[in-house]
Amino acid sequence: MFGLANSITVLRILLVPVFVALFWQPGDTARLIAFVIFCIAGASDALDGLVARRFNQPSDFGRMLDPIADKILVAVALMMLVANNTFDGLRLVPALVILAREILVSGMREFLAGADVSIPVTLLAKMKTTIQMIAIGAMILGPLADRFIPGALAFAYVALWVAAALTVYTGFEYFRAGIRHARPTPAPAPPARRRNKAGETV
């Protein structure tokens, strides 16, 4: 169960409390380390899948844990930014949209798994995740991001709105698939009865 791929996924979860602890420490050094931890955790999302394919280590445990680890990382990072007053007013909207979508998709995944239906991750969903992680990473750095790249923080807010828009679209795709499989399948109509030459029903 705990092959290399699954170990990377578990490590991603274990890095979350480390990220939280460093995020709340005063000083630029702690914030930089928190940013690095977030980047490592985010990059491990692609790494565990690559390792699973490369070393033929797919498992039901990994398929279950991987999306959970992703959602924990994103949800905790967004909540830390909200608590730190990074988001205010309309800036709070994309964060709430992303969090709401993660809850919706989690429920849909559970339902579809029970219906033995698998929805592959699309290229658009991967783009959404990449844009989202870049935006959140820049916001974790805060003013430090503008020191490294002028205007980086403003770009991050725009990128988060783009990620939220893609989040709505990809979330709708999951919802539509769930509704489609939630509809009861109509029972086949009984075969038509006919009469033989003697007038008997057969």
CB 81 within 8 A of CB 23: no
- Distance between CA 87 and CA 171 in Å, rounded? 23
* pLDDT tens-digit readout, 54-92: 877 777 777 778 888 888 999 999 999 988 887 777 778
Paired with 195 in beta bridges are 201
Question: How many other CB atoms sit within 10 Å of the CB of residue 55?
Answer: 11
| pTM, rounded to two decimals | 0.80
CB 15 within 8 A of CB 124: no
* pLDDT tens-digit readout, 138-159: 999 988 888 888 998 889 999 9
pLDDT at 45: 82
Lowest mean pLDDT of 33-42, 120-129, 152-161, name the range. Answer: 120-129
